[in-house]
Amino acid sequence: MFSNEMWSIVGPALVVGLMIAITHAPLGIEVVKRGIIFIDLAVAQIAGLGLIAAEVLIEDPSLVLIQLIALGSAVLAGTFFRKVEIYMPDQQEAVIGVAFILAASLSLILIANSPHGGDDIQHLLAGELLFVTWKQVMFHGAVYALILTVWFLRPAQRTGISFYLLFALTITSSVQLVGVYVVFASLILPALAAVGAKRPYLVSWFCGISSILVGMVLALITDYPAGPVIVVAFVLMTIFWVAGTKHLSRR
């Protein structure tokens, strides 16, 4: 049993991890289906660039302003990638890759003279899941609820520019909570496990949720950073699932 003090740390992190696993599953399947695997890295990095720019270039910015700048950055990225999808479909993955390294390089330039630059980059990439608060859970939980509601009740919004806007909104929340690495892992790996499945959403949800649970337990036991451990858990759970299903199909 967790003590109240332990639950105050683990509880928000666990709930956030589960919310992300549930929300990312359908979006990740769509990303894999479209063949734009690295768009989540690019949009997450661009949203992170917005966060860093707001904190470095604006003196004492409010939380609302930071959120708006990060979301605006992600929306601009999503809109741009939609244009690329229309006019340069064969070069889309290359453009996405260039956008990622450009955003990453600009982030490094912005924090080059910051005394906390190293911590900022580590937070952006690996997240600080165990420092998430219940207030953040409530705020971002409402965002995820909105995304899932639109996704399942308005299927038409899964196409065109609407997909990119939903994706941008999702990534803006997720990258602040768990970092770029976990965002990528939680979108792509469960979706890869679900390729060819009769019920891909259920498979993706199972792999995502189990990866979060296993990763959290391992992080607490080993006292290693939660973000990287969760990424490893996503990889292992996906390998086990794919290997297990292939073994069963041969019997």
188-205: per-residue pLDDT in tens? 999 999 998 899 999 999
Q: Which residue has the higher pLDDT, 43 or 119?
A: 43
Residue pair 25/205 in contact by the 8 Å Cβ criterion = yes
| pTM for this entry | 0.89
Half-sphere exposure of 71 toward its Cβ, with a 13 Å CA cutoff? 13
Q: Which residues are within 8 A (CB) of 109 and not within 5 positions of it... i.e. 6 or more apart?
A: none
Measured CA to CA, the distance from residue 107 to residue 54 in angstroms comes to 11
Q: Which residue has the higher pLDDT, 113 or 185?
A: 185
Residue 219 has pLDDT above 80, yes or no: yes
* Percent share of the chain, pLDDT over 70: 95
Q: Render pLDDT for 136-182 as a digit per residue (tens, 0 to 9).
A: 999 999 999 999 999 999 999 898 899 999 999 999 999 989 999 99
Residue type, 228: P
Half-sphere exposure of 26 toward its Cβ, with a 13 Å CA cutoff? 17
Measured CA to CA, the distance from residue 125 to residue 123 in angstroms comes to 6
Measured CA to CA, the distance from residue 24 to residue 29 in angstroms comes to 8
Q: Render pLDDT for 54-68 as a digit per residue (tens, 0 to 9).
A: 888 888 888 888 889
Measured CA to CA, the distance from residue 216 to residue 219 in angstroms comes to 5
At 99, is the pLDDT very low, low, confident or very high (cuts 50, 70, 90)? very high
Q: Which residue has the higher pLDDT, 5 or 36?
A: 36
At 247, is the pLDDT very low, low, confident or very high (cuts 50, 70, 90)? low
Helix, strand or coil for residue 154? coil
